[in-house]
């Protein structure tokens, strides 16, 4: 009998064997998850090592096995089976004594566990957690590395970006290359972040806005962005479904509860008379209460006041616009509970009340045509509106095994009130037509929405999804309309009473099957039914004190439409790099219009469309990707577009639909290339996208220079009136190409984003029955700088400029320049003092109309102080609109005219604010 080799030789042999399998330095790593299907092995024990949060394989981790007098040392190596990569080592020994397993890796806390000999067999998963002390110990003095790539995960070091004390997550994300925050949503390389985790836990569920609001930057260690399985697909076992982009914020304190409780109130007064001639008092009250745990989230937010600038926050540069006067009350409350992905439920309630007063002037300059040489329309309007909306909703999700059920329900009630006075003057070739119009409207609306969806996975790699939803809305409206034409004898004095209702039912059923290890087919059917009822009774009191029914403005009609869409899709994914998803479908739309007043008309219509789609993506590396997408869809035709009865409520702007319209088919397409260069803290993307609409529904306008009978509508158009209807045109085309980048300059810790784009559009329209097109070319440049060099001062500058040209048929060209500059400076100094300033400048020039010229400058400043040991109490004072620019001018070029509008703004005022943060 040959004696066994000594333990030292066995250990050396095993170590050499593992090291010989180490991959090359530039080998690609792919994230794997615990519990995945393991490849067959002849080894007695296989140890897999990965990051506990990102599930990134940790190649090169040190593995020590001690049993009795034997000590074995290994290093994990990369192993790939099909498209799945792992970091593992194999042990062929059989042990008689208990085993002590120790795993270590630079920057992670060591793992140690004792096993009985009989249990140390098969596959063993080891998840290592990062160790802040180790990372701090190995940091190189000098500039912090802003971002690194770990497999498919991008990691941003928060310490490499400076923010001010008290800043929230959103201020940090604005500095991260490749990350954008738009309208409360987070985007990474153009893809929306679906969920934000905190230390790998679901503190906020799917509410990314709560993460932006409640996480403070002082406690953030790093931010990770990676792809993970969609929760529904993961539950039913659909491993080939597209993944979600998610974010994980690693904190220093590892909190068990995340809270944000803040109270603030401000008051002020206009320093001079507003647009209404008064020194108006301004006030604003805010309360935010938010508590989040891994299983529960609760929030209550309340706003009240008459100060739009303070509610939005004058330091929010990306969304700052000069505010118009309005009063508001808003309350939002929500609660949600989560138990992993097996049980979720929640409830939310909201109340929104607003009252706004606006004063507006507009001027429209038309390009000369064969109908008129010089035409200008001027108007002035004053409006008072009130809207009250009350919402109550809830959701419930239950999952068990490979089944998942989701339900949602929402109810809302609202009231509306409007009072408008509008005066307009139309000057054409020396002739003048004037109009004064007053309207009053009151109404209320009710809406109920409900939806349910069900998904299930089967053992033979087949999956089904089904969903159904329905909503019903009802509205009542009453009002008066008084029109006068100062240059003619036309008068109206109408009292209107109307109501309407809408039923909408949708359903979807999908079946998918994996036909091979790399291919999936899917059959999908969608159904949609919409029924709209609209009634209005109009009584004219102009010539009859008792009122006479006005048949031109009295109607009762119903439009119902059903869509049936059947699509077949094929998905091919041979590896983690390539994904191809192609499909073809057919759509049948049946639309019926049943009109009872003023005439009895029934018009059924059937539309057929072919709907193709293509989605291709190729990941060269985790940092380089290319995607190509094309998707077609049908556009609905609205009630007013189909209704063939003339609308004369405004005698100078007549409207009528077209029952013979064809259904538009719109195709969107895009080609995008993204690349991240982590060692340079650099991200860039090249993008080409556009859309084309077949059977585009274009405006068809006819201008009357003299009184003209319209026998087909039993109506006579007044001099100066415009008849607007609809017709199908050849097609609408829109193209856009852009090159964008974002980079942090380490020397000054400042992030710069820039974008250069070119756009072209061709919009068809009709003028006096002749088909025309408006062509637009433009070049645009955007530059956004966010300073992060200091924890005391944060500058931010955003510049946008666009130069373009409109060409409207044979009527000449219009060139324009549109530019804006936003600048802000936020500062915290002497520990307890803070100051903010914002400047907004806009410029517009057009070579056709001098009236379109616009120059506006706005400037807001505020300064305050914090009190207490933890700076919880704050006092702030400031001035809004120092230069007192009392109006906002906007210019738009459309087809054959340039429209310039001026809206009265809030006006200069001083305020004082007191706040307390718990």
Please say if the pLDDT value at position 141 is more than 70. Answer: no
- What is the rounded distance in angstroms from the CA atom of residue 759 to the CA atom of residue 777? 6
Q: How many residues does the chain have?
A: 918
The residue behind tokens 């056709």 is 848
Q: What is the pLDDT of residue 219?
A: 93
Pairwise pLDDT comparison (565 vs 22), residue with the higher score: 565
Instruction: Say if residue 813 is in the same domain as residue 868.
Output: yes
Starting at the earlier edge strand, list the strands of the sheet with 62-67.
70-75, 62-67, 99-104, 111-115
Q: Report, as an integer, the average pLDDT of 259-273.
A: 88
551, part of any domain: no
The most confident of the ranges 28-42, 479-493, 847-861 is 847-861
- The CA-CA-CA angle for residues 651, 654, 656, to 5°, reads 150
**Cβ(417)–Cβ(385) below 8 Å:** yes
Instruction: Say if residue 25 is in the same domain as residue 160.
Output: no
Q: What is the pLDDT of residue 1?
A: 38
Please say if the pLDDT value at position 482 is more than 60. Answer: yes
Q: By residue range, what is the domain housing residue 152?
A: 140-256
Q: What is the pLDDT of residue 490?
A: 62
- Residue 547, by phi and psi: left (phi above 0), alpha (psi -120 to 50) or beta? left
Q: What is the pLDDT of residue 272?
A: 75
- What is the rounded distance in angstroms from the CA atom of residue 186 to the CA atom of residue 172? 12
Please say if the pLDDT value at position 319 is more than 70. Answer: no
**Between β-strands 258-270 and 244-251, what pairing exists: parallel, antiparallel or unpaired?**
unpaired
Instruction: Say if residue 180 is in the same domain as residue 302.
Output: no
Q: Report, as an integer, the average pLDDT of 76-95.
A: 79
Please say if the pLDDT value at position 625 is more than 50. Answer: yes
Q: What is the DSSP letter of 792?
A: S
Nearest in space to 570 (alpha carbons), one of 558, 559, 584 = 584
Identify the domain boundary among 99, 133, 167: 133
Pairwise pLDDT comparison (471 vs 321), residue with the higher score: 471
Please say if the pLDDT value at position 85 is more than 80. Answer: no
| pLDDT tier, 5 (very low <50, low <70, confident <90, very high otherwise) | very low
pLDDT in tens, 653-705: 888 988 888 999 999 999 999 999 888 889 999 999 999 999 999 988 888 88
**Cβ(400)–Cβ(342) below 8 Å:** yes
| Residue 459 CB burial class (10 angstroms; 0-12, 13-18, ≥19) | exposed
The most confident of the ranges 47-61, 500-514, 527-541 is 500-514
CATH of the domain at 178: 2.170.130.10
483, part of any domain: no
- What is the rounded distance in angstroms from the CA atom of residue 880 to the CA atom of residue 252? 38
Q: CB 778: neighbour CB atoms within 10 A?
A: 17
CATH of the domain at 29: 2.60.40.1120
Two tokens, residue 319: 């969304």
Please say if the pLDDT value at position 881 is more than 70. Answer: yes
- What is the rounded distance in angstroms from the CA atom of residue 271 to the CA atom of residue 278? 10
Domain count along the chain? 3
Two tokens, residue 45: 């024990």
- What is the rounded distance in angstroms from the CA atom of residue 496 to the CA atom of residue 541? 11
Mean pLDDT of the chain: 85
| Residue 5 CB burial class (10 angstroms; 0-12, 13-18, ≥19) | exposed
212, part of any domain: yes
- Weakest mean pLDDT among 125-139, 538-552, 897-911: 125-139
63, part of any domain: yes
Instruction: Say if residue 856 is in the same domain as residue 895.
Output: yes
| pLDDT tier, 329 (very low <50, low <70, confident <90, very high otherwise) | very high
Instruction: Say if residue 882 is in the same domain as residue 758.
Output: yes
- What is the rounded distance in angstroms from the CA atom of residue 482 to the CA atom of residue 480? 7
435, part of any domain: no
445, part of any domain: no
| pLDDT tier, 374 (very low <50, low <70, confident <90, very high otherwise) | confident
| pLDDT tier, 108 (very low <50, low <70, confident <90, very high otherwise) | confident
- What is the rounded distance in angstroms from the CA atom of residue 170 to the CA atom of residue 184? 9
- Weakest mean pLDDT among 349-363, 380-394, 642-656, 791-805: 642-656
Q: Report, as an integer, the average pLDDT of 31-55.
A: 63
Please say if the pLDDT value at position 125 is more than 60. Answer: yes
**Cβ(536)–Cβ(498) below 8 Å:** yes
- The CA-CA-CA angle for residues 753, 757, 762, to 5°, reads 150
Please say if the pLDDT value at position 27 is more than 50. Answer: no
| pLDDT tier, 340 (very low <50, low <70, confident <90, very high otherwise) | confident
pTM of the model: 0.79
Residue 172 phi/psi, 5-degree rounding, is -70, -45
Q: In the chain, pLDDT over 90 holds for what percent of residues?
A: 43
Instruction: Say if residue 108 is in the same domain as residue 125.
Output: yes
Q: What is the pLDDT of residue 513?
A: 94
Instruction: Say if residue 184 is in the same domain as residue 241.
Output: yes
Taking CA atoms, 356 is separated from 279, 301, 353, 359, 476, in Å, by 17, 22, 10, 10, 22
Q: Determine the distance from the C-alpha atom of residue 546 to the mean position of all C-alpha atoms in its chain, rounded to a whole number.
A: 53
350, part of any domain: no
The most confident of the ranges 96-100, 235-239, 262-266, 506-510 is 506-510
End-to-end CA distance of the chain: 78
Instruction: Say if residue 128 is in the same domain as residue 238.
Output: no
Please say if the pLDDT value at position 558 is more than 70. Answer: yes
- What is the rounded distance in angstroms from the CA atom of residue 891 to the CA atom of residue 848? 12
**Cβ(297)–Cβ(281) below 8 Å:** no
Q: List beta partners, residue 343.
A: 339, 398
Please say if the pLDDT value at position 199 is more than 80. Answer: yes
**Cβ(816)–Cβ(807) below 8 Å:** no
- What is the rounded distance in angstroms from the CA atom of residue 817 to the CA atom of residue 801? 7
**Cis peptide, bond prior to residue 144, ω within 30 of zero:** no
pLDDT in tens, 767-792: 877 888 889 999 999 999 999 888 89
- Weakest mean pLDDT among 200-209, 310-319, 641-650: 310-319
Instruction: Say if residue 110 is in the same domain as residue 147.
Output: no
| Residue 226 CB burial class (10 angstroms; 0-12, 13-18, ≥19) | buried
- What is the rounded distance in angstroms from the CA atom of residue 673 to the CA atom of residue 897? 38
Identify the domain boundary among 256, 290, 322: 256
**Cβ(351)–Cβ(333) below 8 Å:** no
Instruction: Say if residue 770 is in the same domain as residue 892.
Output: yes
Identify the domain boundary among 233, 256, 279: 256
| pLDDT tier, 8 (very low <50, low <70, confident <90, very high otherwise) | very low
**Cβ(511)–Cβ(463) below 8 Å:** yes
Residue 260 phi/psi, 5-degree rounding, is -150, 105
Instruction: Say if residue 125 is in the same domain as residue 148.
Output: no
Q: In the chain, pLDDT over 70 holds for what percent of residues?
A: 90
Q: What is the pLDDT of residue 25?
A: 34
Q: What is the pLDDT of residue 82?
A: 61
**Cβ(645)–Cβ(656) below 8 Å:** yes
**Cβ(76)–Cβ(63) below 8 Å:** yes
777, part of any domain: yes
- Weakest mean pLDDT among 36-50, 608-622, 709-723: 36-50
Instruction: Say if residue 248 is in the same domain as residue 291.
Output: no
Query: Residues 6 or more apart from 545 whose CB is under 8 A from it?
Result: none
Q: List beta partners, residue 828.
A: 834
Please say if the pLDDT value at position 344 is more than 60. Answer: yes
3-state secondary structure 806-832: EEECCCCEEEEEEEEEEEEEEEEECCC
Pairwise pLDDT comparison (312 vs 519), residue with the higher score: 519
Q: What is the pLDDT of residue 320?
A: 60
């Amino acid at each position: 009998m040959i004696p066994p080799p000594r333990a030292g030789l066995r250990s050396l042999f095993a170590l050499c064997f593992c090291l010989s399998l180490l991959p090359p330095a530039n080998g690609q790593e792919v994230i794997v998850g615990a519990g995945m299907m393991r490849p067959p092995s002849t080894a007695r024990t296989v140890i897999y090592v990965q990051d506990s949060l990102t599930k990134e394989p940790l190649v090169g981790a040190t593995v020590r096995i001690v049993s009795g007098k034997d000590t074995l040392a290994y290093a994990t190596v990369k192993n790939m089976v099909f498209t799945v990569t792992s970091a593992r080592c194999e042990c062929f020994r059989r042990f008689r004594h208990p085993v002590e397993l120790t795993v270590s890796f630079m920057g992670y806390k060591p793992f140690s566990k004792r096993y009985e000999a009989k249990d140390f067999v098969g596959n063993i998963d080891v998840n290592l957690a990062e160790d802040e002390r180790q990372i701090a110990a190995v940091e190189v003095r000098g500039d912090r590395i802003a971002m690194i790539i770990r497999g498919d995960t991008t990691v941003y070091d928060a310490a490499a970006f400076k923010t001010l004390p008290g800043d929230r997550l959103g201020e940090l994300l604005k500095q991260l290359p490749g990350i954008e925050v738009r309208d409360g949503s987070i985007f990474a390389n153009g893809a929306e972040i679906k969920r934000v985790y905190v230390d790998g836990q679901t503190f906020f569920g799917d509410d990314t806005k709560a993460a932006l609001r409640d996480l403070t930057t002082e406690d953030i260690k790093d931010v990770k962005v990676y792809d993970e399985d969609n929760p529904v697909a993961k539950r039913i076992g659909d491993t080939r479904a597209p993944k979600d982009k998610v974010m994980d914020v690693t904190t220093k304190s590892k909190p068990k509860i995340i809270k944000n409780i803040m109270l603030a109130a401000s008051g002020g007064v206009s320093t001079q008379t507003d647009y209404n001639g008064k020194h108006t008092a301004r006030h604003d009250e805010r309360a935010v209460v938010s508590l989040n745990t891994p299983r529960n989230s609760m929030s209550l937010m309340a706003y009240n006041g008459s100060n739009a600038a303070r509610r939005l926050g004058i330091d929010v540069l990306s969304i700052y616009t000069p505010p118009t006067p309005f009063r508001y009350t808003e309350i939002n409350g929500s609660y949600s509970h989560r138990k992993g992905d097996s049980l979720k439920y929640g409830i939310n309630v909201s109340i929104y009340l607003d009252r706004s007063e606006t004063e507006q002037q507009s001027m429209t300059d038309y390009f000369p045509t064969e109908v008129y040489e010089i035409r200008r329309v001027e108007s002035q309007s004053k409006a008072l509106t009130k809207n009250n909306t009350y919402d109550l909703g809830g959701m419930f999700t239950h999952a068990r095994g490979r089944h998942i059920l989701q339900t949602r329900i929402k109810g809302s009630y609202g009231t509306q009130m409007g009072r408008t006075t509008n005066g307009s003057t139309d000057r054409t070739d020396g002739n003048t037509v004037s109009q004064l119009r007053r309207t009053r409207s009151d109404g209320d609306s009710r809406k109920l929405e409900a939806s349910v969806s069900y998904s299930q996975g089967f053992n033979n790699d087949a999956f089904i999804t089904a969903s159904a939803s329905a909503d019903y809305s009802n509205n009542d409206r009453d009002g008066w309309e008084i029109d006068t034409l100062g240059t003619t004898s036309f008068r109206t004095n109408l009292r209107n009473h109307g109501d309407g209702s809408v039923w909408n039912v949708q359903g979807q059923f999908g079946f998918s099957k994996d036909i091979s290890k790399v291919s999936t087919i899917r059959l999908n059917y969608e159904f949609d039914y919409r029924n709209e009822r609209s009634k209005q009774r109009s009584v004219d009191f102009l010539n009859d004190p008792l009122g006479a029914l006005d048949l031109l403005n009295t109607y009762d009609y119903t439009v119902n439409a059903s869509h049936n869409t059947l699509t077949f899709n094929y998905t091919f994914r041979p590896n983690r790099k390539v994904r191809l998803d192609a499909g073809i479908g057919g759509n049948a739309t049946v639309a019926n219009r049943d009109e009872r007043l003023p005439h009895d008309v029934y018009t059924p219509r059937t539309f057929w469309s072919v709907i193709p789609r293509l989605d291709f993506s190729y990941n060269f590396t985790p940092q380089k990707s290319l995607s190509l997408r094309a998707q077609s869809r049908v556009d609905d035709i609205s009630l007013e577009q189909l209704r063939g009865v003339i609308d004369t409520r405004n005698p100078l702007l007549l409207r009528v639909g077209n029952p013979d319209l064809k259904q538009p088919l719109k195709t969107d397409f895009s080609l995008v290339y993204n690349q991240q260069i982590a060692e340079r803290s650099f991200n860039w993307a090249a993008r080409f996208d556009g859309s084309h609409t077949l059977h585009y529904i274009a405006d068809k306008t006819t201008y009357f220079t003299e009184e003209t009978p319209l026998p087909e509508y039993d109506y006579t158009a007044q001099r100066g009136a415009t008849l607007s209807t609809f017709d199908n045109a050849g097609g609408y085309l829109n193209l856009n190409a852009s090159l964008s980048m974002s980079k942090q300059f380490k020397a000054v810790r400042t992030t710069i984003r820039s974008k250069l784009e070119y756009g072209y559009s061709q919009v068809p329209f009709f003028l006096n029955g002749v088909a025309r097109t408006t062509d637009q070319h433009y070049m645009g440049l955007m530059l956004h700088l966010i300073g992060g060099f200091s924890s005391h001062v944060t500058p931010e500058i955003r510049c946008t400029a666009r130069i373009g040209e409109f060409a409207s048929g044979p009527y000449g060209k219009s060139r324009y320049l549109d530019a804006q500059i936003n600048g802000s400076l936020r500062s915290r100094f002497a520990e307890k003092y803070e100051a903010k300033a914002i400047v907004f400048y806009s410029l517009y020039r057009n070579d056709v109309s001098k009236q379109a010229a616009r120059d506006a400058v706005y400037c807001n400043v505020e300064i305050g102080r914090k009190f207490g040991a933890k700076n919880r109490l704050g006092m702030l004072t400031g001035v809004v609109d120092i230069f007192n620019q009392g109006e906002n001018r906007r210019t738009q070029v459309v087809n054959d005219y340039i429209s310039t509008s001026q809206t009265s703004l809030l006006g200069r005022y001083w305020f004082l604010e007191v706040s307390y943060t718990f």
